[in-house]
Structure 1
Amino acid sequence: MSKGEKIIQNYYANESIDYLEPSVTSRTIIDDYLYKRKPVIIRGLIDDWEASNKWSFSWFQEKYGNIYTNVFSSGNEAKSSQMRLKKMFAKMQQGEILYSSLYTKELFPILSPDYPLAGTILSDTKFNWLLDLPKTIHGDMNVIFIGNTGTGIKNHQDSMGTHLWSAQIMGTKRWIVSPPEESEFMYEGKADWLKREESIEKYPKFKEAKALDFILKTGEILILPVGWWHQTEILSDSISITHDLVNETNYHHYIDELNKSHQSDPKVETFYRASKSIQANWAAQLTQKKTTPIERIYYSISFEDLLEKYLIPHQAVILQNQINHWPALHKWNLDYFRERFGNAFIQYFHGHDDKSKKIRLRKYLETNFDQPHYSMWCLDEFYDILAEDFDTIEPLNNKEKDWILDLPKKELNALTWIFMGTKGSGIANHTDRLGQHVYSAQISGRKR
């Protein structure tokens, strides 16, 4: 079983997409799919839309043939060129395979009555907070994709931290989607699902990838959570509408992306300015939990800033892009540990509050436990062997910054642990005993 298969099975429970009836509530989708980062398809929700009955290639050519749109043939929207719709349709009739992303900013007041959100969950401002933004930018949330058979969009992740919904107005489109935990296999989108063997030769880790592969049919709506990789292939001449989506489940992703990218991306800048005055109202709608959001830092941070802003005030923080060079990220897995370190002793727990027991690593990995289990492995004498696979992080990379590094080697080794666990396991609420700070590097999987 590949790593991608394990990710989809362990995190997302199945290898097929769920289908829901049009009576489904926005609360159900939020709780059962968006919080859990699971894609889902709704059937029958847009049967009454005028767009479903009248939109076609000939209709767009007749009504809006002089409108300019982005047209590309390579699957890469970044390589698109501006072209009038009528010229694009003429090229299609001559046999060219083309795809268009028609941004509806100017056309929105004219076209939106053909796909009225009113009366559906798509109009629920608790489901999509972006609907609270000024109507003058609602057109920036919509894209109409038009393409003939054989075209599509290359493998990619959407920007701006948004979920999306995509309504298939005409034709059929194949979607190949993978969760964000598979990012290391995607090579920034260079890996191509439609040329899998060729891609594996160029990008070897792509062989570990696994996707949900399904066909979106006329009248169906796909809801795809933030961060999911997706590639499409049009199976019959297609028109679809894609719409950005933000709510309590991805609010922090959205705000983080606005703050990070607004100065370099005009679209993001538009949403950044429009969202500023309403952020407090959105934040007040967040599900009240007895926890607070943790700050994520995407850039390189100095030791002085880490000390002043986080360590001295005792504020937790997540540092991203600090360990991308570690060999552990692509070497470490259960088979690797079993083969190389099977005789090492580790401590393991049944449940969060169970007392730990000692067991050899090989036996632990080969035991079929009847409930989620968790283990701790103090590296001790194995430290020197495993240390080639990881390193200190940049802001704490010498003895002046991390005084722990002054300790004798034996004691230093005893302060480094590897934690392993199955889905649903974990460790009980506690504080560490020595009064030290800790940093924990997530090598694979996800941990709350």
Structure 2
Amino acid sequence: MDLEPKKVGVQDFHNLILRARAELGIQDEEVVHLPIVKQIRWEGKRFYSRNVLLLCAGLLFLVVIGLPTSLYLSIRDETKFGNITVQTYMSYLDNENPNEGYCLFKMPSLIYPFTRPPVNCSECANVEGIQYAYNLTQEKFISEYAFGMQPVLVKDGQQNWTAHDMFSYHYFKSVYSPGSEALEKSEKECQFFPYETEMRTLGEFFNMSDERVAGNDEPYYCGWSNCDGKAANELRKHYKLPYFLPPELDHSKTDWVFMGLSGFGAYMHIDNVGTTSWQAQIKGTKKWVLEAPPECHGTCISRMEVIVEPGDIIVLDTNKWFHSTEIMGKETSIVIGSEYY
């Protein structure tokens, strides 16, 4: 018949050690290194002693991710705690000594939305929606749109551009041909945004199969900066500074290209580029969704949507408006964009 296992206590284990020492001549040092003794010592430790690394990882996650996320959701949903937090933070900034500088360092993109300076909500309090413009004069652009939070869609922004007829995947591939100086410099010095694709470099993007380029295989959406001078000069043969932007605002030497297939786009995010930007829809159609920063909910319009079509240029402060994009229709989307200041 089955015998019930005997429970071994501390005294029993001590007596066993004494017998091993007396009858077998085993020293204490040898007993300590026996695998079974190590196991007993490990299982006898308290929970927090055995799981110290796990507990530290959990605490780190709570501090770095959990608390900022909870605060963000609290502010976004306009809870009492969120409103008090924002008011306290704004009061602190207002009372800071203007002669004392801030310590600045580059924040990771995932952390930046939780650490950015709050927006002055009076800047968007009068924004009722995205405005549309034709024949926009430079004077009106400066006075109403250039440096505020009022987004504007200029419907005739690409006057005298040839980009719509020239730009395509194969045209870009000819500019950044394999082994070319433009591609090599772009991969070393320029930025590449893979968004929802597995590609991590511009070279990988221009190594796609024709089936995938045509949309008959795995979809893609990505962006890159044309910071190589020769490539930039070639691309700029087919577009120029939008007519409504005064030349003195054209200080940016780097433009951006965004390209992808229907259904893809950029997730909801906020930029950290420091200046207002314009984006020209060369081909395809894209839906933009703008959301007010959480601290401005209740003061500013909470959400806006706009469809940007070929020939349009949208101008907005992407450092203050949270925004996402989605490519509509079947045509491949190609966008050129840049900042101004």
| Structure with max Cα Rg | 2
Distance 1:150 1:33, change over 3 A: same
Q: Is contact 1:177–1:231 with CA below 8 Å preserved after alignment?
A: yes
The reply on whether 1:160 has 2:273 as its aligned counterpart is: yes
Question: Taking structure 2 as the reference length, what is the TM-score of the superposition?
Answer: 0.52
Q: Normalized per residue, which structure has more strand?
A: 1
1:232-247 alignment runs, 5 A limit: 232-236=325-329, 237-246=332-341
Q: Distance in 1 between matches of 2:236 and 2:227?
A: 10
Distance 1:183 1:52, change over 3 A: farther
Q: Distance in 2 between matches of 1:161 and 1:71?
A: 18
1:373 counterpart residue number: none
Distance 1:63 1:35, change over 3 A: closer
1:169 counterpart residue number: 282
Q: Is contact 1:179–1:228 with CA below 8 Å preserved after alignment?
A: yes
Match of 1:117 among 225, 230, 241: 241
Q: Is contact 2:127–2:150 with CA below 8 Å preserved after alignment?
A: no
2:125 counterpart residue number: 11
Deviation at 1:71, TM superposition (A): 5.6
Distance 1:163 1:88, change over 3 A: farther
1:215 counterpart residue number: 307
DSSP 3-state at the match of 1:102: strand
Q: Percent same amino acid among aligned pairs?
A: 24
Q: Is contact 2:145–2:151 with CA below 8 Å preserved after alignment?
A: yes
Distance 1:48 1:147, change over 3 A: same
Q: Is contact 2:277–2:337 with CA below 8 Å preserved after alignment?
A: yes
Q: Distance in 2 between matches of 1:58 and 1:42?
A: 28
Q: Distance in 2 between matches of 1:164 and 1:89?
A: 33
Q: Is contact 1:175–1:231 with CA below 8 Å preserved after alignment?
A: yes
Distance 1:113 1:159, change over 3 A: same
Deviation at 1:183, TM superposition (A): 5.4
Q: Distance in 2 between matches of 1:35 and 1:146?
A: 27
Match of 1:74 among 191, 196, 206: 196
The reply on whether 1:178 has 2:291 as its aligned counterpart is: yes
Q: Distance in 2 between matches of 1:114 and 1:179?
A: 34
1:144 counterpart residue number: 257
Per-residue Cα deviation, 1:395-440 (whole angstroms, up to 9, x for no partner):
xxxxxxxxxxxxxxxxxxxxxxxxxxxxxxxxxxxxxxxxxxxxxx
Deviation at 1:74, TM superposition (A): 2.1
Deviation at 1:122, TM superposition (A): 2.9
Match of 1:102 among 206, 218, 224: 224
Q: Is contact 1:61–1:89 with CA below 8 Å preserved after alignment?
A: no
Distance 1:45 1:13, change over 3 A: closer
Deviation at 1:72, TM superposition (A): 2.3
Per-residue Cα deviation, 1:189-242 (whole angstroms, up to 9, x for no partner):
xxxxxxxxxxxxxxxxxxx99311111100000001241111111114100011
Match of 1:227 among 307, 320, 325: 320
Q: Distance in 2 between matches of 1:115 and 1:163?
A: 19
Q: Is contact 1:71–1:88 with CA below 8 Å preserved after alignment?
A: no
Q: Distance in 1 between matches of 2:295 and 2:213?
A: 34
Per-residue Cα deviation, 1:160-193 (whole angstroms, up to 9, x for no partner):
321110000000111111233x3588xxxxxxxx
Structure 1 window deviating more from structure 2 (212-221 vs 49-58): it is 49-58
Q: Distance in 2 between matches of 1:72 and 1:49?
A: 27
Q: Distance in 2 between matches of 1:55 and 1:217?
A: 16
Q: Is contact 2:265–2:327 with CA below 8 Å preserved after alignment?
A: yes
Q: Distance in 2 between matches of 1:40 and 1:89?
A: 37
Q: Distance in 1 between matches of 2:284 and 2:323?
A: 19
Distance 1:35 1:221, change over 3 A: same
Q: Is contact 1:19–1:40 with CA below 8 Å preserved after alignment?
A: yes
Letter of the 1:130 counterpart: H
Q: Distance in 2 between matches of 1:36 and 1:111?
A: 29
Deviation at 1:89, TM superposition (A): 5.6
Q: Distance in 1 between matches of 2:223 and 2:340?
A: 18
Q: Is contact 2:127–2:301 with CA below 8 Å preserved after alignment?
A: no
1:49-448 alignment runs, 5 A limit: 49-66=161-178, 67=183, 70=192, 72-74=194-196, 81-84=200-203, 85-88=205-208, 90=210, 91-93=212-214, 94-106=216-228, 107-117=231-241, 120-125=243-248, 128=249, 130=251, 138=253, 140=254, 142-180=255-293, 182=294, 210-225=302-317, 226-236=319-329, 237-246=332-341
DSSP 3-state at the match of 1:114: coil
Letter of the 2:314 counterpart: L
Q: Is contact 2:147–2:276 with CA below 8 Å preserved after alignment?
A: no
